[in-house]
Chains A and B, each alone.
Chain A
Amino acid sequence: MLRTRALEIFLARIEARAFRIASIALSNEADALDAVQEAMIKLARRYASRPEADWAPLFHRILTNSIRDSLRRRRVRTRWLMPFRAERAEEAAPAWPEPADPAGDPLAGLEAEEAWRILAEGLRSLPDRQREAFVLRALEGFDVAQCAQAMGCSEGSVKTHYFRAVHALRGRLEER
């Protein structure tokens, strides 16, 4: 019973952040909710008996896979069922707003939701592995070993992806 309670606390603590991460990649709230739910169910079913310290890297690994599956399904749908609608959606993507403080921090002085939208757009522009490395390392605060566990790659790869992500994101935000 204590373990169930511990798992519930873990999921309650992580679910909102997981939703934001899924939203970055999927750009769709319903799909993001589905991906988070799938990750929570898989963690609870398969890995609840693992040490609690492993839950966060495992959860993010499952979430990453759920997001990839969702994107794959969407690509198939888009390619075969809705080619014209997808093109129109891309054309209608919102432009980035004017910077609030061009000289300094591009995210300074913005409303929370607006700052998040800008950051999410910047992260969305990164390649998948770079985005994953940045999310885990910078946003979730994982160390390199945990990132490697969550991403299923070597620590050297994590460092490379993270380094490139930081520089690409900085350039993207400074362009504004």
Chain B
Amino acid sequence: MNDELLTRRAREVYLESASSLDAATRTALAVSRRRALASSGAGNLGQGAWWPSGAVAAAVMLAAMLWISPRPGTEAYHASLDEAGLSELMALGQELGLGDEEPELYAWLGQP
């Protein structure tokens, strides 16, 4: 029996024995594997995979906000400013007790 034959046969026997483990042992090994993966923390391994998706989500939200918000010089921009300004004036007027007296004036001020 030469060395090459010995090592080849040994490897064949080894691989065959590993593939023919009984069901109980295979189950125990699978449980051990799951424990190992759980102990590694899907957390620890997954952190690197999570942060890019978080960054992408933040970028998408920022882009959406920029897209939706009115731009200076547009009617919507003025309308939003006027609505905000009108609300402030109404609040101020109510504080001063003027809200009931001149509502049309404040409505007029709010028009573009």
Same complex for A and B? Answer: yes
Please report A residues at the B interface, Cβ cutoff 8 Å: 1-4, 7-8, 11-12, 15-17, 19-20, 29, 33, 36-37, 40-41, 43-45, 48-49, 104-108, 112-113, 115-116, 119, 134, 138-139, 141, 166-167, 169-170, 173-174
- Of B9, B15, B20, the residue contacting A113 (CB under 8 A) is B20
Which chain B residues in 1-40 approach chain A with CB under 8 Å? 1, 3, 5-7, 9-11, 13-21, 25-26, 28-30, 32-33, 35-37, 39-40
Check if B35 sits within 8 Å of A115, measured CB to CB.
no
Check if B29 sits within 8 Å of A33, measured CB to CB.
yes
Residue B45 CB within 8 A of the other chain: yes
Q: How many B residues, CB 8 Å from partner?
A: 35
Residue B65 CB within 8 A of the other chain: no
Question: 10 tightest A-B contacts by CB?
Answer: A44-B40, A40-B36, A37-B32, A116-B17, A138-B7, A16-B18, A44-B36, A15-B29, A17-B18, A139-B14
A sample of 11 inter-chain contacts (CB < 8 A) reads A12-B33, A15-B32, A19-B29, A37-B35, A40-B33, A40-B35, A41-B39, A115-B16, A119-B10, A166-B7, A169-B10
Most buried by B among A4, A29, A112, A141: A4
